[in-house]
Chains A and B, each alone.
Chain A
């Protein structure tokens, strides 16, 4: 059976087709791109393609727990209701807080917001979208008067110039990247500019790359505004008729960047490149600037967003096909959260606390015959302030839904301490283990993707159905149901009496249109977010809902692709605002020891804290361990080698990871992935190194400008232990470890300083002497395997530090050995070699979709494949999701260059 639904990962919001064997209730057969979905038109990235492999009941939270003990739902809900009620009574509504997530569906989100703000009466509800989108929201609101993304994905294809800044689109929004790539191929005149401190894979598509100094964004766009003014490239008509604040914004820009030379100096880019970019931008009307976390995650994130929007307003490139400042969200339903008002500074349905009449309007809307909501009067604590309020003891109860803040919030060690201190921590979660659960008093098992039923909104304001295909495992329940049950127990049942999720959606749609008159002004009730056209859907219609972009109302029943085409903005004056901005230094300052700047971000094949993506073993191959990307010169100064383990540290915490020396990383700055956590590695939470500073407007943390010191980890040995069972490896002897779930075993990477007698270690720590072993004692190499009745129980390889991984290569064959009932003698003989036979080692995986390794690709290149297409034809690599194409290109270039190098005889 096939069901159309949406992917639960990034903000592109791709439609997928889930193939379902109706006799199985725990997993799907396959997940493929939905050709009928406008966002992706059949494309799908590697993460989405692997969705079916992330399912299954293993590792799911299936029963409510109180203090670690399984209890019935009745008991758990009674406990939650009673304790929240008691805290509310004793300490007031403001002692209760909710921390929500862009992983929630809109319906869950809507009810959570209604529950906390409307009936518990606490303003302290924030969401993990604070960590990725808050600055984009604040910037849009300042400039456009509403959190309204003006663009749609077609604009990327119709633009003459696409500027990607602070966005590694190739890795983080691969399907949009593919769309852009295709568009560029079709339109050779299209130009793409990539602005990023790192040479990212997205650069592969760039006509021009600006290696901007971290924090140089405002100077760069202020310089652009100055340039546009100086070259007479402003849209004077548009500025005069539809904007305000231009003069101040230009003055500020000219003050900071009076000429290109100054701008170039400030943003660390050479003048010629910068002028090229300025010229391109200034001479085109159809410009899309696409930005994401690289812009937002800063203590001046909102100003950065406005610096970008300023240029679009000054050039009139907004509200037109192929034009506009386009924020791409990180999460599947960050937009849905923004729509329901899930952030602490929002009230509901695009109404803020200070929006005239909003409190009264929402109160009236939520009032039932027997209940009147008690809305708080003003905004609550944003995420970081929430932590501080817990520390101060003001917040007594925290209910976390669908997120893992102990990994994702900055200064994560401090968050841990705060949570430990919080008298009541409730967590609604679908996985049985994560860093946050360890601090929960009450655990509520929630449904996960393929079970959850509702809607999500993607980055282009497109609402799509995420459909419930599988029943939740065990006693897991939908988040909206859990909220309703708690609400009922706290006496709010009348306002939470829904028989089905479509009724929640209907209420949400009705609220968006409630007293929302497009003829009025924002001051008199007009909101841009209006999906009243979707109100009144019955269950059948709701189930049949096709993807549609808001606003959807009487004047736009088919939805709205692009906003502000009439240049009527949501400010009181109806004019868009240019904001005077100036660069500010990062709040995290270098110390005498913490000289290096720390950039953080995502990798191609993992999602957030890996609770789901790590379940698909093929997603673990692209980057298997936590790592640190370092410029060669910084590596030299810190005495760390490529492939070695190193330590990042500052007064807040430490991070251990494997060094990747690369010139793609600018000197003086490091990059670490945000994904790893205590479930997968020792000391690998990037957030532990990030100080809790945030943007004064948006409250978004400065996650990309940490300050750290780099030093080698003084390990002597490294080991790779494959365990056939799910038991935790013996980690006593190691100074570092990482766990890599494979398809049939758990791979534990370990490192340590003190060298044990490995044969004794095996016997003592793993409980059995090795059945077979090999050693090269002088070199410190040891390998062993244990078989029982012909079946592989564990496998171990030890080598001097830094040499193990390159030596092992791809261990897929070993992984497969774990499922064999009996190893044939030939297989057994190959066990310690770690691979079936020579020549079959494909090397590190490059193409995850088709599992094609680097060595296989190198052989194909050597064998005559001269292009990405040729490689695709021979090996199928890069033909599915295409996100490895940049790497394929690199391999092609590298190998060609090597071949063309003059052959010199080098002394041995």
Chain B
């Protein structure tokens, strides 16, 4: 093992292959090129035909607020300038661990000293009757967006399944394009993993004001088709049939862990990694939505950025370790600002502070446990979100600023300083 370890160190500057060309990979590359100890040879394999883009901007793209090129993170010239080989539209089909090679869809083998799997995730599509029909999409890629945009030519009715972050972004985007959009959500309130009822009610009202139709506490049971090829409707569990020439499924993601599973790496829901982001194979690492750390999978950028930091450091010979950290959720759809983190449901003994300006769509709910901030939901004015989040990370006693805590960072900071 010692020898293996030494070898790994020695290999640090040699050939690194990265499968997947998403945001995590791109951020990793940015980190690596800024460091002199970077591996000399880096190859990136992406099955999409373009360099990495900012997936967070998919909803503005759909809404027609930005162009595709504005999403692009880096041009091909950047890769050349930094001596990184980018293989676009090249799908990796297998890993040959014993040979330290990966095999692409043209059956070409590529050697690696160190392999990084960053294949991301995909929308979880329901295995419902009619799931094979055309017109049913996820909302993960620019290609998805292109398909959604193309659908406007033959339908005015869209159904979005999933009232979470992604689903609502898609729904608002489609609505902006002029479609009649119905959101079907299993939970009794929107974004039920991030928001309490009050914030969700404000969100609901805001979305309804933007012309969205909502079906809460419902699930799809089947897709209808008029012609047997294209989707024409969604059947809900209470029997209601919604007209839909276009269906966006945004009710959860599935990690793209298949390569790892097939290569016999240790996997549960995704490819298992340790705190060095190494898989069960010391030469293979995994990053982002396709990996799993301590039974946790990932869907938000913040923890993945933290993983990138660790991985970049490791690839440059460092010894940083990854740990799970709390993270906050933000939503920004056409003027609806949301910020939430931590505990969502107060436990007995927790203290709840609330602020509501219903006319103005402003809401705040803070949960304190032993005078420490453990959860927050901000709706409307979210400017203090980051400040609250830092307070929850610090876990400091907020008793001195309890009176002003709801009213924002400047007041509370002053009180904390005065008490210090």
Contacts and interface: CB of A to CB of B under 8 A. Distances in A.
Interface in A754-804: 771-779, 781, 787, 799, 803
A838 B402 contact: no
A838 B408 CA distance: 9
Interface in A828-857: 828-830, 832-833, 835, 837-839
A895 B121 CA distance: 61
Contacts of A787: 359
B381 interface: yes
B221 interface: no
Interface stretch (B38-46, B136-144, B207-215, B346-354): B346-354
Contact of A832 (B351, B359, B407, B413): B407
B265 to A, nearest CB: 49
A833 B357 contact: no
A908 B400 CA distance: 12
B358 A830 contact: no
A776 B397 CA distance: 16
Contacts of A779: 351, 402
A771 B406 contact: no
B410 A774 contact: no
Contacts of B258: none
A837 B410 CA distance: 7
Interface string B338-363: 00000000000001111111111010
A69 interface: no
A825 interface: yes
Contact of A776 (B358, B402, B408): B402
A778 B353 CA distance: 9
B353 A775 contact: yes
A775 B366 CA distance: 10
Interface in B389-416: 397, 402-404, 406-408, 410-411, 413-414
B352 A807 contact: no
A775 B406 CA distance: 9
A774 B353 contact: yes
Contacts of B404: 833, 838
A776 B351 contact: yes
B410 A771 contact: no
Interface string A808-834: 000000000000000001001110110
A829 B357 contact: yes
Contacts of B352: 776-778
Interface string B186-211: 00000000000000000000000000
A828 B360 contact: yes
A178 B241 CA distance: 87
Contact of B408 (A825, A833, A908): A833
A772 B381 contact: no
Contacts of A781: 403
A833 B362 contact: no
Contact of A833 (B359, B407, B413): B407
A825 B351 contact: no
Contacts of B411: 833, 835, 837-838
A772 B357 contact: yes
A839 B414 contact: yes
Interface string B369-384: 0000000000001000
A838 B358 CA distance: 24
Contact of B360 (A772, A776, A807, A838): A772
Contacts of A838: 404, 408, 410-411, 413-414
Interface string A68-83: 0000000000000000
Nearest to A773: B356
A834 to B, nearest CB: 8
Most buried by A among B352, B353, B357, B364: B357
A773 B403 contact: no
Nearest to B418: A855
Contacts of B410: 837-839
Most buried by B among A833, A837, A908: A833
B381 A832 contact: no
A829 B383 CA distance: 12
A830 B407 CA distance: 7
Nearest to A823: B360
A36 to B, nearest CB: 48
Most buried by B among A776, A779, A835, A839: A776
Contacts of A837: 410-411
Contacts of A799: 403
B403 A807 contact: yes
Nearest to A808: B403
Contacts of A772: 355-360, 362
A882 to B, nearest CB: 30
Nearest to A775: B354
A772 B407 CA distance: 13
A832 B406 contact: yes
B358 A771 contact: yes
Given A776-B406, A807-B403, A825 B360 contact: yes
A830 B404 CA distance: 11
B321 to A, nearest CB: 32
Contacts of A771: 357-359
Contacts of A774: 353-356, 364, 406-407
A828 B381 CA distance: 12
Interface string A356-378: 00000000000000000000000
Nearest to B415: A838
Contacts of B397: 908
Contacts of B406: 774, 776, 832
A832 B355 contact: yes
A396 B351 CA distance: 65
A47 B126 CA distance: 78
A853 to B, nearest CB: 14
Contact of A828 (B356, B357, B358, B402): B357
A825 to B, nearest CB: 7
A778 B352 CA distance: 8
B381 A829 contact: yes
A781 to B, nearest CB: 7
A832 B403 CA distance: 11
Nearest to A785: B357
A828 B358 CA distance: 12
Interface string B128-152: 0000000000000000000000000
A771 B404 CA distance: 19
A830 B383 CA distance: 13
A726 to B, nearest CB: 26
Contacts of B407: 774, 830, 832-833
A833 B354 CA distance: 13
Nearest to B383: A829
B382 to A, nearest CB: 12
Nearest to B412: A838
B377 to A, nearest CB: 14
Contacts of A825: 360
Contacts of A828: 357, 360
A773 B411 CA distance: 18
A792 B19 CA distance: 60
Contacts of A833: 404, 407-408, 411
B129 to A, nearest CB: 48
A787 B359 CA distance: 10
Interface string A419-448: 000000000000000000000000000000
A210 B356 CA distance: 57
A271 B397 CA distance: 53
A778 B399 CA distance: 13
B208 to A, nearest CB: 21
9 contacts: A771-B358, A772-B359, A774-B406, A774-B407, A776-B406, A777-B351, A833-B408, A838-B404, A838-B414
Q: Which 6 A-B pairs have the closest CB atoms?
A: A833-B407, A838-B410, A772-B357, A774-B355, A778-B351, A838-B411
Given A778-B351, A829-B362, 8 more contacts: A772-B355, A772-B360, A775-B353, A775-B355, A781-B403, A838-B414, A839-B410, A908-B397
Interface of B: 351-360, 362, 364, 381, 397, 402-404, 406-408, 410-411, 413-414
